[in-house]
Amino acid sequence: MKVSIVGSTGYTGLELVRLLNKHPKVELEILTSRSFDGEVISDIYQNLKGEADIKCEALDIDKLAESSELVFTALPHGVSMEVVPQLLAKGLKVIDLSGDYRYDNLETYESWYKAHNSPELFKDAVYGLPELNRAEIKGSSLVANPGCYPTASILALAPLVDKGLVDLNNIIIDAKSGTSGAGRKLSLGSHFCEVNNNFKAYKVANHRHTSEIEEKLGILAKKDISLSFTPHLLPINRGILATVYANLTENIDSKSLLKHYQAYYQDESFVRVMDEGKLPEIKHVAGSNYCDIGLTVDERTKRVIVISTIDNLLKGAAGQAVQNLNILAGWDETLGLDNVGLYL
Task: Specify if 72 maps to a domain.
Answer: yes
Residue 109 and residue 232 in one domain: no
Q: Are 225 and 173 in contact (CB under 8 A)?
A: no
Q: Phi and psi (nearest 5°) for 311?
A: -90, 120
Residue 323 and residue 294 in one domain: no
Residue 217 and residue 245 in one domain: yes
pLDDT category of residue 187 using cuts at 50, 70 and 90: confident
Task: Specify if 343 maps to a domain.
Answer: no
In this prediction, residues 94-103 reach a mean pLDDT of: 98
Q: What is the structure's pLDDT at 81?
A: 97
Per the prediction, the chain carries an average pLDDT of 96
User: How far, in Å, CA of 18 to CA of 49, rounded?
Assistant: 11
Task: Identify the three-state secondary structure at position 274.
Answer: coil
Residue-level length of the chain: 344
Q: What is the structure's pLDDT at 185?
A: 81
Residue 30 and residue 70 in one domain: yes
Task: Specify if 32 maps to a domain.
Answer: yes
Each residue's pLDDT tens digit, 67-89? 999 999 999 999 999 999 999 99
Residue 56 and residue 182 in one domain: no
Residue 132 and residue 153 in one domain: no
Residue 183 has pLDDT above 90, yes or no: no
Residue 323 and residue 272 in one domain: no
In this prediction, residues 163-192 reach a mean pLDDT of: 92
Residue 166 and residue 303 in one domain: yes
* First and final C-alpha spacing in the chain: 34
Task: Identify the three-state secondary structure at position 160.
Answer: helix
Q: What is the structure's pLDDT at 302?
A: 97
Q: Are 289 and 337 in contact (CB under 8 A)?
A: yes
CA–CA distance from 78 to each of 100, 113, 117, 118, 169 (Å)?
6, 8, 9, 11, 31
Task: Specify if 341 maps to a domain.
Answer: no
Residue 182 has pLDDT above 90, yes or no: no
Residue 298 and residue 226 in one domain: yes
* CATH code of the domain containing 259: 3.30.360.10
Q: What is the structure's pLDDT at 46?
A: 96
Residue 188 has pLDDT above 90, yes or no: no
Each residue's pLDDT tens digit, 209-231? 999 999 999 999 999 999 999 99
Residues with catalytic roles: 148
User: How far, in Å, CA of 294 to CA of 304, rounded?
Assistant: 11
Total domains present in the chain: 2
Task: Specify if 158 maps to a domain.
Answer: yes
Residue 106 has pLDDT above 90, yes or no: yes
Task: Specify if 342 maps to a domain.
Answer: no
Residue 114 and residue 251 in one domain: no
Q: What is the structure's pLDDT at 190?
A: 85
* CATH code of the domain containing 124: 3.40.50.720
Q: What is the structure's pLDDT at 94?
A: 98
Structure-model confidence comparison of residues 191 and 141, the more confident one: 141
Residue 132 and residue 192 in one domain: no
Q: Phi and psi (nearest 5°) for 308?
A: -130, 135
Task: Specify if 336 maps to a domain.
Answer: no
Residue 51: give the domain boundaries.
2-145+317-329
Each residue's pLDDT tens digit, 278-287? 999 999 999 9
Vertex 232: Cα angle to 258 and 158 (nearest 5): 30
Task: Specify if 214 maps to a domain.
Answer: yes
In this prediction, residues 310-332 reach a mean pLDDT of: 98
Q: What is the structure's pLDDT at 25?
A: 98
In this prediction, residues 269-273 reach a mean pLDDT of: 98
Residue 186 has pLDDT above 80, yes or no: no
Residue 107 and residue 232 in one domain: no
